[in-house]
Structure 1
């Protein structure tokens, strides 16, 4: 059965996290992603540690199902080579700072003139307009800029960045959704278009509840650690050995929790009779729950609380997730062949399609691994390829183990 984007070609000149995450999604959906990389260095994420047999783990996670070709886009011959790819491409993705693509000759209007049906995606830090649009920005910086960092962390502690690249990968998702929407539009109209998204817009969107709360109350949202501004009890609690997470969103769940903890009297306590009253008396309630939970271990309590059908979990560390029965049952890891890494397992996209399954069929390519095969597909002759190699316009994969020499 064909993958959803089989037969679609993506020209990817992105680097770091956001753009490659977007094109990884398209590759997993079946598109042929041609990853254009710089000579010698390649994608910056190749050296984002820790390294595994010389390859950065960031790079490994977000660059499967792609083919790598090394082209010097600063050279006129390199630019012409890339422009020749555009003629029969479906999608082009860049994540340059504002104006750089146009200066290089790869702006939307410039490529649209070559291929009117092209879907052009621009993924940036701050968007295509406004006072920040030309500024550089990484995930953590934009977390600060959009207010996410101000509400992340313990109430009495320091602010903290979310320890995963939520805006890089989040904007990648919005970019992919935009591209898929543009493909549907093209099927109806025959027209290509430009898709824009940014880390900043993603951050503002994801703080939507908090911004609306501020508009309604005039009160600045505060850091609450693992807690939740709208519900109580909701957060992490200490047991005799490990911490657990409990989430209560309505009165029925609270009544079940009270019974599970042997504290039926809480149900009729006026401080805890409704969610509003529980939020207003959050500190007293959390202290009362902790006083009960600290008497026994996490497994004991989780079994009782889960039996009452209350959302809860031991707070797991990362290593425990890999072999977790739930992870195994959902088959979130796929082992693939890699020329340098013996047992490389990558997390699949967290979505399934019953009639057009998604696959991780190709390992993250070594730098320049597919340069020759891509050029041959494009009809470039052997003599021209050799000339381009001699001029340094393109770079081919070196022997394994010496890719970065």
Structure 2
């Protein structure tokens, strides 16, 4: 399957990278003057932006000027031979380029077109700028994230990631339908819709109680004990989600079986109602051990627990290293490690190809679009397209 994408930032590139990992050919259309904005967010991966390296492995980069008639014609020619066209330009922009879904699918009903946006089509916010933090705010995510005193956004671009996941999922569903019916699809994915969907239980709590779920920090509005608890040298996170788990915690870990039948703590409803007392009882006992000692005791008793890992520890996490989850991919300035995609197939490994330089595949794609050698040179010399210097990829 071939995907042509006019994309930038996070949401759309994540969707197409997911498809590339699964074996799709992804042609990434970029601006000739700098390409995808994410290339320059920072320069931490040998001079390339971390966001870009994360989201764009396994793609072919075509640098072309979409403001020119010839540039638009080149992209149109590639879309005409593709299975999927995905874009996240500003609302209305792709139609002004002559690449709207209705126009493209008027002659190719089998084409799958995915339009990604911040707020979706129609409605009073359709034309508003839509960055991840802004969508988190509009979706209510910030209102329930943080401490009682301070709301915060999540530390990763949650709204972008949610939209990207739903977009790739929708493409797979549309391809499956096309295999059965021959019909393509026009699909809209909004970051707002994806994020509000992820609000899940908090949204239902609001709708059915009329009460705004409070910001709980590391705690949980519906479960107790569920928080970080002190040890003699730090802290350990403990999450007890059922009454049997509570009994195991107080009996096998704390050696305090009398707490199992304490009327304040017998059920989760009781423990949530008496959260402060429950947390105090747990904290008074966790302080007896170091974090490492308590972690061993909790694991032996089957009580869910964890220690907060910093990112240097995550990079070397034994659960990832011992399961061989890291691979090496190349970028134009040097190699880097990258995680295998989360879905593991028993009989085949996901494709983990290189991160392209801006315009790395332009020459070949211009030829594929139907330009002869003279026309290719004319397009490059006129600034309609840009060809990057080639770098030697790692041997496979």
TM-score with structure 1 setting the length: 0.93
Report the 3-state secondary structure (helix = DSSP H, G, I; strand = E; otherwise coil) of the residue aligned with 2:331.
coil
Q: Which residue of 1 aligns with 2:189?
A: 197
User: Contact (CA 8 Å) 1:232, 1:275: kept in 2 or not?
Assistant: yes
2:355 aligned to 345, 358, 364, which one? 364
- The aligned residue for residue 30 of structure 1 is 23
Residue equivalent to 2:44: 51
1:5-404 correspondence runs (5 A): 8-155=1-148, 157-259=149-251, 260-342=253-335, 344-360=336-352, 362-398=353-389
In 2, Cα distance between the equivalents of 1:353 and 1:399?
Answer: 32
In 1: Cα distance, 2:325 partner to 2:227 partner: 26
Structure 2 distance, partners of 1:126, 1:339, is 35
TM-superposed deviation, 1:251: 0.6
| Paired residue secondary structure (1:51) | coil
Output the CA distance in 2 between the equivalents of 1:9 and 1:346.
Answer: 23
Aligned residues: 390
Moved more, 332-341 or 366-375: 332-341
Q: Assess if the C-alpha contact under 8 Å between 1:153 and 1:223 holds in 2.
A: yes
Cα distance, 1:252–1:357 mapped onto 2, change above 3 Å:
same
Q: Per the alignment, do residues 165 and 332 of structure 1 end up closer, same or farther by CA in structure 2, a change over 3 Å counting?
A: farther
Q: Which runs of 4+ in 1 moved over 6 A?
A: none
Shift of 1:50: 4.5
TM-superposed deviation, 1:207: 0.9
SS in structure 1 of the partner of residue 90 of structure 2: coil
* Residues 97, 135 of structure 1: 8 Å contact kept: no
Aligned to 1:4: none
Shift of 1:181: 0.6
Task: Give yes or no for contact 1:88–1:115 (8 Å, CA) kept in 2.
Answer: no
TM-score normalized by the length of structure 2: 0.95
The whole-number CA distance in structure 1 between the counterparts of 2:12 and 2:331 is 23
Taking the aligned partners of 1:310 and 1:147, their CA distance within structure 2 comes to 31
Whole-Å separation in 1 of the counterparts to 2:9 and 2:287: 44
Question: Which residue matches 2:394?
Answer: none
Contiguous gaps of at least 5 residues in structure 2: 392-396
Deviates more, 1:131-140 or 1:302-311: 131-140
Q: Which runs of 5 or more structure 1 residues have no equivalent in the other structure?
A: 1-7, 401-405
CA shift, 1:71, in A, is 0.5
CA RMSD across the alignment: 1.4
Paired position in structure 2 for 1:3: none
Give yes or no for contact 1:119–1:194 (8 Å, CA) kept in 2: yes
Say whether the 8 Å CA contact 1:61–1:347 is kept in structure 2: no
The Cα of 1:111 is off from its aligned counterpart by 1.1
Structure 1 stretch displaced more, 40-49 or 290-299: 290-299
Contact 2:86 2:113 in 1 (8 A): yes
Q: Distance in 2 between matches of 1:173 and 1:139?
A: 14
Question: Take 1:375 and 1:246, find their aligned partners in 2: how far apart are those partners?
Answer: 57
d(CA) in 2 for partners of 1:94 and 1:80?
A: 16
Q: CA deviation at 1:399?
A: 6.9
Q: Match of 1:291, SS? A: helix
